[in-house]
Structure 1
Amino acid sequence: MIDCSLVVPIYRNEENIPDLLEALAGLAARVPGFEAVLVVDASPDNAEALLRAALPNLGYPAQLLSLSRNFGAFAAIREGLAHARGRFFAVMAADLQEPPELAEQFFTTLRSDEADLCLGVRRSRQDPGLSRFLSRTYWRLYKRFVIRDVPAGGVDIFGCNAAVRTALLSLDERSGSLIGQLFWVGFRRKEVPYDRRARTKGTSAWVFAKRLRYFVDSVFAFSDLPIHLLTVMGGAGAALSAVVAAVVLLAWLFQDIPVEGYVPIMLAVLFFGFVTLLALGIIGIYVWRISENVRGRPNAIVARREIVG
């Protein structure tokens, strides 16, 4: 009977496949009722071919989901959770920078009903200095402006029971934040500390541009910060306008403007033109996100599904 499903999103991880399969075999030997759900997010390398060849000989239940195109890691995770057949679920990265034993701890905690949601929290990370700095900055901003309950080191891996999975999958949002959704749904949480390993093979696809896009998605999905900033700028613009108006009026009374109206008009046009463009951009982002959700397109499309066990 399948009891514990481990979801592994895979993108540009061809070099890690042998080590990943070895780690999954170890978990399957230690975790009763284990199932692996491997979600290939239209990886451009040979990862899918390697997994398909290995699938019949794994020796434990597994699924291979191939998405029709690259939808992103979080869409792949959601699709894996939707197709998983267990009662308890965990997510693990294919690059093995998070120790596989962490998923085993999640399953133990969930089975004992100590928590509904387990979060892997980094104590340390063996990454290059620039990567550590960018990661710390990213999660500090995330904690400050998006979800205050997020651990300082961030969350990359988690486990949950069926109730949390059902709640997550019921949030049918596009361009959202899976981490934000985990905290939004609530439930009993338990943080499990771990030390992040150095990446030994391949390069991470989680580049700065993707981090920035995900941060923007998180802000607009779980924070009213942009609206507050716009309101503050509007108030500051109104105050500045009043000051400029007073200065212009005094200068006019004392006949101290050689070219009447030129300077204040230019300042006003530039400042309020900037504020207007900023406001239209923020409103446009919200309207686009509303449009995305109204269209009702799926977060991901599974092109092929193969099951063993």
Structure 2
Amino acid sequence: MRPSVPEPGEATAAPRYSVVIPVYGNRATLPDVLTRLASVADQLAGDLEAVFVVDGSPDDSADVLASLVPQQHLAVQVLEHSRNFGSFAAIRTGLAAARGDYVGVMAADLQEPPEVMLGFFGELESGSYDVAVGRRASRSDPGGSALMSKVFWGLYRRTINPEIPPGGVDVFACTRDVAQRLVLLDESHTSLVALLYWVGFRRVEVPYDRLARTEGTSGWTLRKKVMYLSDSVFAFTRIPIHALTALGVVGTLITLVVGLVVLVSWLAGRIDSPGYTPLMLTILFSTFLLLTGMGVLGSYVWRTYENTKRRPAALTRTHWVHDPRSPHPKEEA
């Protein structure tokens, strides 16, 4: 039995704060997430709601939420995707469903402490900022993981956006206006973090200590990191096009020099098979250049084609709400 969306006339006032949490394989940490968010809610000046988006989780995270949420004095929305669409699609779903004036986004693995939301919301409520992003002051990840993250975000800052903090952005909050604008940017194969910086607005960084993972393993694999970096590159920068142009110019200059050397060697009688050397060099270089160019341009064309389909970023299978303030709580199967 799960709480249902209140019927017209039963809905309570919208909360002042919302926290969006994508869920994928996080059943072990969900009890602590709910407890700590309830503690955060007690320290805020207004009501807070938690918006959980279960993104095709392979475990029983949805059932765990269904059993734990009714026991909480905390407003909660739970949305279940029809399958796994990815964490960024889950965040978008949560942003679209969030009702608060200020909306935070955090992971369910508790490596980013929920208490950082207090700092975020405080900065946003000051009226001086529209976006608050978490900046890692320290991290407790294993050495290998920390090194990979450093390399990944180093490349990201060099190729995409140097304004992003050195450790990347894993947790942030923004005003409702910014959240709605992010949802309206209906792009596929893109970077939500890059979009957050693309929209601009007034930003502030809030330091926090990234904690060690206590449960489960990270789904942020090397393959996903490479795909994410690739999506970010092709969606937000022309560097590959510029690199390809530079390669073509350099290759042309090299070809001219090699051609001149070959011509001089031929005139001096040092080449026994006239035409063979320049022909092979030209074929090899041209083939390499064409294949590289086709790959780069194809990446842009493919992403353009994907966006012309106008498919939604994700599909929601179920959506239920628990609101302890509702005068007529209802249950549905």
2:35 aligned to 16, 22, 28, which one? Answer: 22
Write the distance in 2 (CA, Å) between the matches of 1:153 and 1:308. 35
Query: Match of 1:193, as an amino acid?
Result: P
Please give the root-mean-square deviation of Cα atoms over the aligned residues, in Å: 1.1
Distance in 1 between the 2:215 and 2:171 partners?
19
Q: Pick 1 or 2: higher relative contact order, CA cutoff 8 A, min separation 6.
A: 2
The answer as to 2:220 corresponding to 1:220 is: no
Q: Does 1:82 align with 2:96?
A: yes
Normalised TM-score (structure 1): 0.97
Match of 1:99 among 113, 128, 131: 113
**Range 287-296 or range 269-278, more displaced:** 269-278
4+ runs deviating over 6 angstroms: none
- Cα deviation, 1:140-198, whole Å, max 9, x if unaligned, reads 11111101111112111000002211221121111111111111111110100011001
Give 1:207 shift: 1.1
Take 1:28 and 1:46, find their aligned partners in 2: how far apart are those partners?
Answer: 26
Q: How do 1:134-213 residues align onto structure 2 when only pairs under 5 Å count? A: 134-213=148-227
Tell me if the contact between 1:237 and 1:272 (Cα under 8 Å) persists in the aligned partners: no
Q: How far apart in 1 are the matches of 2:128 and 2:106? A: 21
Note the C-alpha offset of 1:104: 1.7
What residue identity is the alignment partner of 1:234? G
Equivalent in the alignment of 1:111: 125
Return the alpha-carbon distance in structure 2 between the equivalents of residues 308 and 221 of structure 1: 38
Aligned to 1:3: 16
Partner of 2:63: 49
Question: Partner of 2:243: helix, strand, or coil?
Answer: helix
- Secondary structure of 1:25's partner? helix
What is the CA–CA distance in structure 2 between the aligned matches of 1:304 and 1:194, rounded to whole Å? Answer: 34
Alignment deviations for residues 49-92 of structure 1 (CA, whole Å, 9 cap, x no partner): 11122222222211001011111111100110001111110011
TM-superposed deviation, 1:219:
0.7
Structure 2 Cα separation of the partners of residues 218 and 46 of structure 1: 32
Range with bigger deviation, 165-174 or 259-268: 259-268
- The 2-side partners of 1:52 and 1:287 are apart by 43
Q: Which has the higher helix share?
A: 1
